[in-house]
Amino acid sequence: MNKLECVICDLDGSILDSNRTLNSTDLNTIKKLKEKGIKFLICTGRPFTFTKQVISDIGKDTISINCNGAYVYDYLKEEVIYHEEEIAREDVLNIYKFCKENSYPYMIYALEGIFFDNENSKRTRFWMKQRDINFKDENKFDINYFNGETDNLHFMKVIHPYVPDDFKSILDKKFNLNERYEVSSSEKGIINITSKGINKGHAVEKMSKLLGFDLKNTLILGDNYNDESMLKIAGYAVVPSNGEEAMKKLATFITSSNDEAPLTNAIKNLFPEILD
């Protein structure tokens, strides 16, 4: 059997449980992986500020790929290692105006911060609750609201939560006829927009070259459509039992649900010697 060189995990729906926290069993497994010299990375749709608490628990030497591959963040140096092409400010402004006019919810992720739509939206309340329950004081983030100002901001992702099933086609027809952007789904009812060519798989390929690990010897855990590109290039594609059926068809191994230490279960079955 090939030696495992790297493990890469999605967060929500994958290694985080239904309460959006990291299971202590999987946390111990991550520490064992690191002790054995196996690289461990996070690859998530979240911006780095929403990932700080998980990274704090795992260790600040953990690099995270954020916003579905739009940029990579180093928590020890507190800086962006690299970022891909930004979403044009004019397009962000047009999407913002369209959402305001039609009462569609949105969130805007820039390198400089996260911008919510309004204080009463469902997504704002969700992240306020997450911040208050799951984030220690030193890892809490500010709640900012977008007002249409785009100067000096570098936009990496726009997210539309709790939207109807046909919203992706609406966005494609109105803003993406020339296919300048990637429009993907991360959870049911949640649509993501990034610049064309930005996806998790592309970012993982970049990091494999930068950090020197072989994708054939890499285990990747993911559950949803925005994980598809990285699951397809993994030597060991692992999908939790709660994952999308289409992702399970890509899996080398279907592990336990995100509430049942999915990473530990996968390592026990695929690389049992690591946990001996």
Is residue 1 predicted with pLDDT exceeding 60? no
Over residues 201-247, the pLDDT tens digits come to 999 999 999 999 999 999 999 999 999 999 999 999 999 999 999 99
As beta bridge partners, residue 157 has 109
Order the strands of the 155-160 sheet from edge to edge.
Answer: 144-145, 113-116, 107-110, 155-160, 190-195, 181-187
Over residues 248-273, the pLDDT tens digits come to 999 999 999 999 999 999 999 999 99
Give the residue-averaged pLDDT of 120-131: 94
Structure token digits, residue 175: 């803003």
What is the DSSP pairing of strand 144-145 with strand 181-187? unpaired
- The per-residue pLDDT for 110 is 96
> Dihedral angle at the C-alpha atoms of 239, 241, 244, 246, nearest 10 degrees?
60
Contact status, residue 74 vs residue 64, Cβ threshold 8 Å: no
Size of the chain, expressed as the number of residues it contains? 276
Contact status, residue 73 vs residue 63, Cβ threshold 8 Å: yes
Confidence of residue 173 (pLDDT cuts 50, 70, 90): confident
Is residue 175 predicted with pLDDT exceeding 90? no
Contact status, residue 117 vs residue 99, Cβ threshold 8 Å: yes
Give the residue-averaged pLDDT of 54-73: 96
Q: What is the mean pLDDT of the chain?
A: 94
- The per-residue pLDDT for 163 is 86
